[in-house]
Structure 1
Amino acid sequence: MLPKGCFSRCLAVAGLSLVLGGVAQAAPDSSPIGSANVTVADPTVPRPPGQPCVVQLFSDDTFNDFGTRPYSYAPPTGCGTRWSKVVLEADFSVTAGVQFDRTASIWLSGVNIYFGTTQEPSSTLAPSWHVERDLTDYSALLRNAGQGQAVLYNIVDSTYTGVIHGSARLLFYPASAAAPAPQVADAVYPLGSDPVGNTVTLNTSSDQVAATLTLPSNVERAYLDVFTQSQHNDEFWYTCVPDQYASEAQECGGGNFREAEVSIDGQAAGVAPVYPWIYTGGIDLFIWKPTPGVQTLNFMPYRVDLTPFAGILSNGSPHTVAVSVQGANNYFSATAALLVYQDHGAKQVSGALVRNTLVNQLPTPTIGSTLTQDSSGNVTGDITTNLSRHFVIEGYVNTSHGRVTTTVDQTVGFADTQTFNITATDYHQISDQLTTVQGESRSKIGAFLSGEFKASFRYPLHVDYNQTSETNGDYSILTSIKQGYDQHTGLSLGGFPLYAADVHNKVAGSDTLVLNSSFQIVSHSGQQATQDFAFHDSLGSCYRGSVSSADNVVTAYSSGQGCPGGQNHVFWFTHPDGSPYQGSTLLPW
C-alpha cells in the first residue's frame, strides 16, 4: 500500500512525473471527435439579439510567476448604461510540458468576475479552453471605471515547464425593445482581501472573509454570491474522516463535512453548500483528459437570499457581512459579493428581522462508525456523517409601495458514507456523498403573496478508489468517479406559476494507474469518461450536450439530441449553465 496519508500527495507527485506521452491536439475548427484537447458539454451564455460593445480587459497575458496581472477598466462608450446582457469571455491555454492545475480568478474593484482552475498539459499536448460568465446582475459595478487584476499563480522552472496564457473581455448588449434591460442590483459590494480583489484564506472554521459596510438607507433586497474553493490539505476534503478514525482508516483527518456559513453582525444569516469540485490533477489526472469534472474550469457561485435583513441593513449603522467554512482544515479560498437592490421611491426605509430559527442550529453533524479490525489487521466497515437542518428567516421592510415581508424557508442536508476494506495488500475506499438544498423565498406586500422563488440543489459525488500492491513493488490503482450538479428553480407571482427551469450536469469517468515504488506513473489504462448536460424550462428552452472519451481522446460528441428538431434552443435571458438568478431578475417584463 502507499504510505499512510499518501492518497492525495503521492498522486499529485505522480501526475508531475509522467513517463507517458499525450495525443496530438486536433486541428482548429475540426470535429472534436479524435481530439485530445479540452472538450466539454456545457452551454455557453445565451445572447440577446444585437451587436455587443466589447471591452478588452487583458490580452494574451503570460502567467509564469506569483505576480498578479493588473488592468484598468472603463465602461464601453456609445453603449448606454443599461444593458440587456453582460457576458465575460475568457480564453486560456498552457504550453506542452509539466504543470499543476492552477487556480485562476479575475477581479474588478474588489469583486470577483471569474473563478475556476486550469487544465493540466502533457508532454505533447498544449490544451486550450474557453469560459464564459453571465455578469448582467453586476451591471452596477461595470458602469464605473475601476482597477482590476487577473490572479493565476504559476511556477515555471526546470521541472514545472507549462506556461499559461490568457485573455478576457466583456461583451455589453445594449437594451432594446426586443431585449430590454432586466432589473439588476443597484450596487455590488465585495467581500475580499484588497480593493482590487483576491480571495481570503480560511484555514479553520473560525476564519472569515468579511466586509464591514455602511449601506444605503433604502435597501429593499439583498443577496450574497458565495465562492468557497478547497485547497491544499482540504483539496480532497470529501475523502477525509473524523480524527478518531484517521489512523485506522489510513485517511486524512478533520472529517468530511464542509458548509459555508453566512452571518450578519455575528448572527447566522444563511447557508451556502460547498460543491466538491475536482481539479484536472485530482485523484487520477487521466480521467479529466480531455473532459474535466463538473464546473472545474468555471465555478458557479451560490446565491444566498439576505432580504429578510434589508430593514436592518438600511438603518445607517455599519454592518459586517461574513462567510466562514464549517470544517475548514487548511484551507479554503473564499470570496463573496453582496448585491443590493434599493427602493427608488424612498430615501429611507425601515424594518426589522422578526424570526430566525437558524441561530440556534449549530452545523454539527452526527458521526457513526461500523469499522472493525480483525486479528490480521484487516479493517472493514463504514463511517457515516449526516446533518439536516430546516430553518426559517423572516423580516420586513417598510417601502414606498408598502410593507414587504420576506420569508426564507430552507432545508439543507448532508449525507456521507465512506466504506473501507483494507488488507495488507489492498486499500479500497468508497465515498458516497450527497449535499442537498430545498428552499423558497416568499415575499408579501401586506397580506398579498406577491412572489415566490423556489430553488433546490443536489450535489451527488461517488468516488471508488481501489489500490493494490503488486508483487513487483508497483501499485495498481483503479479509480471510478461520478459527480453531478442538479438545480431546479421555479418562480410564481400572485400564486400563479410563471417560470420553472432544470439544470443537470453529470460527469463520470474511470482509469487505472500503475505507479512504481517512487510513485512515478509507469502506465495507465482503461481511461473512459462521459459528460452529459441538460437544461430545459417551462418556456420551451431546451439544451442537450454530451461528450465521451476513451484513452484520452474524444470518441463521441453530440449537441441538441433530445431537443425538438434535434436542435438546442435557449431563450437569451435564461441561465442554462446554472448561474444564479433570483426571481424578478430573470424575466425582462
Structure 2
Amino acid sequence: MHLNHSHLRSAAAPLILLFIFTSLCFSGASCFTSSFKLHQVPATNVSLEFLDPTLPPAIPRETNPKCSVLVLQRDFADTVGSPPATANYTQPPDCPAPWTRVVLELSFSVSDVQRDRVAAVWVNGAEVIRTTTPVPTFPGGAFWKVHKDVTRYTSLLRHLGDAGTVTMRLENSNVTSFPGVFSANVSLHFYRGAVPVARPATIGTAHPTVKGLYREPADLIIPISCEKGAEGGGFWLLVNNDSHVPAASVTIPRNTYRAVIEIFSSYHADDEFWYTNPLRSSFQGQLGTSRANGGFRQLYATIDGKFVGGHIPFAVIYPGSINPYFWSPVTAIGAFDIPSYDLDITPFLGLLLDGQPHEIGLGVKDSQPYWLLSGNLHLWVDAWSDVVEAGLVEYSSPPLQINRHAEWRNPDGQSEVNAEGLIRFSGWVSSSKGNITTTVRQKVKFKSQVEVQNRGAVKQVEMTNKERTTVAVAKGHQTVGRVQVFIEAPLQVQTSSVNAIGGAVFEKTRLYHQLQEIVNLNENMAVSTSSLTDRQDAEGSVLMHDGAPVWGSGSTRSSYKYRDENTCYLRTVNAAGGVVKFDVASPQCSAVASA
C-alpha cells in the first residue's frame, strides 16, 4: 500500500451500483449471480470491530500487569507529509525494571470511511512494531487492538529517561471521499514475577525467526534507520530499486559477544503486489500490477558493503488487497503485526569490534519503487570484559541461482521464477564466557508462477518459499546450543473476471495462504520441538471500477495451530459478509469443530 493511499473507495450510491450490475448482467456477459451477495453494511451508527484471527494472546487474560502506562495518544487526520507524533517517556515508578514481560498495546479507532494505511511505533528511534489499518467502508467507522510482546526491547525501555521518546507515524488523508480520522493509543503493560507462557517463545509473527538461543533480551539496541528521524519523514529507509542499499553508520561496544540484525519492511507503489508480479512489464491485470521483475524478493543486510544474510519475506496481504471483503472483519496473516526478520551476525563481529564506525546497509533484491525498511542491531555485551576478540572463520555466500522463464502471447501467457541458494558463515568470539564459535547456515528454495488465460480473463498465481536456517554455538569441539527453523509458505490466488459497461470489471477470486514453521531447539543437552501451522482460505466476488472495488462479498476461514511438548493452541475463525460466524479457541489441544 502507498503511505497516503490504498485501493478501496467509498461505495457509490445504491442506484448507480444497481445500474452497473444490471448493465453487467444484461450485456451478454456471464454473471456469478448464484454465489454473489451484496456486502451487508451495518447501520451507520455502528462501529465494526476488526480482529487478528490467529495468534493467541500475548499474556493470559487471568494475568494482570504490575502497571500499565499510556505513552502516546494522537488523532491522525490530514497527516500526509507531517512529522510523526512524538511523546516523552519515563520508566513507570510503580514497577521499575527488571520486568518478566512487557506487552505493547495499540488501540485504534477510525471515525468514518477510510483507506488502509501503514503505521509504525519507535522507541528512541528503534522500531518495535509495524502495522496496517483495516478498511472501514461505512460511516460508523471501526475499532481494533493489536498486542505485541516487546520484551526483547526492554533495554530500550530500561534506559529511557526524561529524554526518552516514543514516536508513531501514520500518514492519513481525510479528504471528502475518505473523511475518517484515525485515533491511536499506545500503551505498555509491564509484568513482574512468574508469568505463564501464553505465546510460543521461539515463534514470531508469520515469519521464520531464530530467537531460541536468545532467551535474554539484548543489553543494547542500536537503530538502523534514517538519521533525520522525527524531524522529517520518519525513521524509515527508502529503497527504490535492486541496487539501492541505504545504510546507517554504527559504532558498537568493543566488549560485544553476540549480535543480531532485525529488519522491518513494508512494500508500496510498484511493488505493493510483488508476490503476484509477472515477468513482463506490459502485462495488465487485476491480480495486482503491470510491473515486471517477477514474484521473487529477498531482504538482506550488509556490513561495509559485505553481504551478511537475508530472508525471503513472507507475503503479507494488505487489507485493501486482492479482495478487501476477505479482510472484514478479520485480517490477513501478519497484517496487524508485520513480521520482522532476524539475521545472526555474530560470525562477523571481527569486522565491527575495532571501535570505529561501520556502515550497515539494508536492501531488497529484485525490488522496484518502493520499500520502507528499518533495522535494529541487538547487541549482547560482556560485563566482565572491556574488550573481546573475534574473527571470521568461514564465509560461503555464492549468489542465489535464479532462473527466469516467460512465454507471452499478448495478453495471455505464463512466467516462472525459481531461486535456490545455500550460505554458511562461521566465526569465533573470545570473551569471559570462553572461546565460542557461532555457525549460521541457511538453505533457500523458492518458486513463483503467474499464468494468464482466456484473453486475460483468468489469472492464477502460485508461490512457495522453503527455508531452513540453522544457528549453532560451539565451545571447542562441543556444541552447546543449536536452533533449526524450517519454514514453508505457499500462496495461491485464482481470479476470473468479466467486463461490464462503463469500465467496470466483475471478479471472482479464491485464495489459499499458509505458513508452516517447525523449530528444533537443542540447548545444554535439552531438546525441544515446536510446530506452527497458520492458514487462511478465502473466496468471494467484487465489482471493480477504475481499479478500485465498489462493492462485493467475501468469506474467509482462518485456522491457527501451535504445538510443543507442553502446549497446544488451536483457533478457528470463520467470517462472511463482514460478520464473524464462528470463533473457537482451545488451549488444551482438544479438537476445534468447524462451522
TM-score (norm 2): 0.84
Call closer, same or farther: CA 1:412–1:477 in 2, change over 3 Å: same
2:491 corresponds in structure 1 to 461
- Give % identity: 23
2:175 maps to 1:148: no
2:458 corresponds in structure 1 to 428
2:50 corresponds in structure 1 to 38
| Distance in 2, Cα, partners of 1:51 & 1:198 | 30
1:419 corresponds in structure 2 to 451
Residue 148 of structure 1: CA displacement?
2.2
Question: Greater CA deviation, 162-171 or 196-205?
Answer: 196-205
Q: Is the 8 A contact 2:239 2:245 kept in 1?
A: yes
Unaligned runs of 5+ in 1: 1-7, 29-34, 568-589
Residue 80 of structure 1: CA displacement?
3.0
Call closer, same or farther: CA 1:27–1:403 in 2, change over 3 Å: farther
Q: Is the 8 A contact 1:343 1:400 kept in 2?
A: yes
Q: Residues 46-195 of structure 1: matches in 2 within 5 Å? A: 46=59, 51-59=65-73, 61-66=75-80, 67=82, 68-97=84-113, 99-143=114-158, 144-145=160-161, 146-175=164-193, 183-194=216-227, 195=229
1:573 corresponds in structure 2 to none
| Distance in 1, Cα, partners of 2:87 & 2:6 | 33
Residue 473 of structure 1: CA displacement?
6.1
| Distance in 2, Cα, partners of 1:82 & 1:499 | 27
2:391 corresponds in structure 1 to 352
Call closer, same or farther: CA 1:398–1:474 in 2, change over 3 Å: closer
Which letter maps to 1:289? Answer: S
2:421 corresponds in structure 1 to 389
- 1:309 is paired with a residue whose SS is helix
Call closer, same or farther: CA 1:26–1:524 in 2, change over 3 Å: closer
Q: Is the 8 A contact 2:402 2:417 kept in 1?
A: yes
The one of 384, 391, 401 aligned to 2:433: 401
- 1:487 is paired with a residue whose SS is strand
Q: Is the 8 A contact 2:487 2:515 kept in 1?
A: yes
2:558 corresponds in structure 1 to 531
Which letter maps to 1:390? Answer: L
Give CA-to-partner distance per residue, 1:115-160, whole Å, 9 cap, x none.
1100111124422111111111111111122122110000012122
Give CA-to-partner distance per residue, 1:405-451, whole Å, 9 cap, x none.
0100110222111112142xx52211101122101111111111111
| Distance in 1, Cα, partners of 2:194 & 2:278 | 55
Which letter maps to 1:530? Answer: R
| Distance in 2, Cα, partners of 1:441 & 1:234 | 31
2:571 maps to 1:545: yes
Residue 175 of structure 1: CA displacement?
4.3
| Distance in 1, Cα, partners of 2:502 & 2:390 | 72
- 2:100 is paired with a residue whose SS is strand
2:202 corresponds in structure 1 to none
Call closer, same or farther: CA 1:405–1:560 in 2, change over 3 Å: same
1:329 corresponds in structure 2 to 368
Q: Residues 538-577 of structure 1: matches in 2 within 5 Å? A: 538=565, 540-560=566-586, 563-564=589-590
2:528 maps to 1:499: yes
Residue 206 of structure 1: CA displacement?
2.1
Call closer, same or farther: CA 1:222–1:464 in 2, change over 3 Å: same
Which letter maps to 2:58? Answer: V
Residue 24 of structure 1: CA displacement?
2.5
Q: CA RMSD in A?
A: 3.0
Residue 535 of structure 1: CA displacement?
1.4
Count of residues in correspondence between the two structures: 538
Q: Is the 8 A contact 1:151 1:198 kept in 2?
A: no
1:24 corresponds in structure 2 to 42
Which letter maps to 2:137? Answer: S
Which letter maps to 1:151? Answer: R
| Distance in 1, Cα, partners of 2:64 & 2:319 | 37
| Distance in 2, Cα, partners of 1:232 & 1:177 | 43
Q: Residues 208-223 of structure 1: matches in 2 within 5 Å? A: 208-223=245-260
1:242 corresponds in structure 2 to 279
- 1:137 is paired with a residue whose SS is helix
Q: Is the 8 A contact 1:40 1:531 kept in 2?
A: no
| Distance in 2, Cα, partners of 1:52 & 1:350 | 41
Which letter maps to 1:486? Answer: Q
Call closer, same or farther: CA 1:499–1:18 in 2, change over 3 Å: farther
The one of 543, 568, 585 aligned to 1:514: 543
Q: Is the 8 A contact 2:571 2:592 kept in 1?
A: no
Which letter maps to 2:555? Answer: Q
- 2:349 is paired with a residue whose SS is helix
Q: Is the 8 A contact 2:63 2:195 kept in 1?
A: no
Q: Residues 260-279 of structure 1: matches in 2 within 5 Å? A: 260-279=299-318
Q: Is the 8 A contact 2:118 2:133 kept in 1?
A: yes
TM-score (norm 1): 0.84
Unaligned runs of 5+ in 2: 15-38, 198-213
| Distance in 2, Cα, partners of 1:403 & 1:472 | 72
Residue 296 of structure 1: CA displacement?
0.9
Residue 519 of structure 1: CA displacement?
5.7
Which letter maps to 2:297? Answer: R
- 1:201 is paired with a residue whose SS is strand
Which letter maps to 2:100? Answer: S
Give CA-to-partner distance per residue, 1:158-201, whole Å, 9 cap, x none.
1221111110111111246999x962211001011135552111
Which letter maps to 1:511? Answer: G
Residue 242 of structure 1: CA displacement?
2.4
| Distance in 2, Cα, partners of 1:333 & 1:177 | 35
| Distance in 2, Cα, partners of 1:355 & 1:43 | 40
Q: Is the 8 A contact 2:11 2:137 kept in 1?
A: no
Residue 209 of structure 1: CA displacement?
4.0
Which letter maps to 1:468? Answer: V
| Distance in 1, Cα, partners of 2:155 & 2:103 | 14
Residue 550 of structure 1: CA displacement?
1.7
| Distance in 2, Cα, partners of 1:184 & 1:14 | 40
Which letter maps to 1:43? Answer: P
Q: Is the 8 A contact 1:241 1:254 kept in 2?
A: yes
Q: Is the 8 A contact 1:53 1:172 kept in 2?
A: yes
Q: Is the 8 A contact 2:74 2:85 kept in 1?
A: no
| Distance in 2, Cα, partners of 1:559 & 1:281 | 27
| Distance in 2, Cα, partners of 1:56 & 1:166 | 11
| Distance in 1, Cα, partners of 2:226 & 2:310 | 21
| Distance in 2, Cα, partners of 1:350 & 1:480 | 55
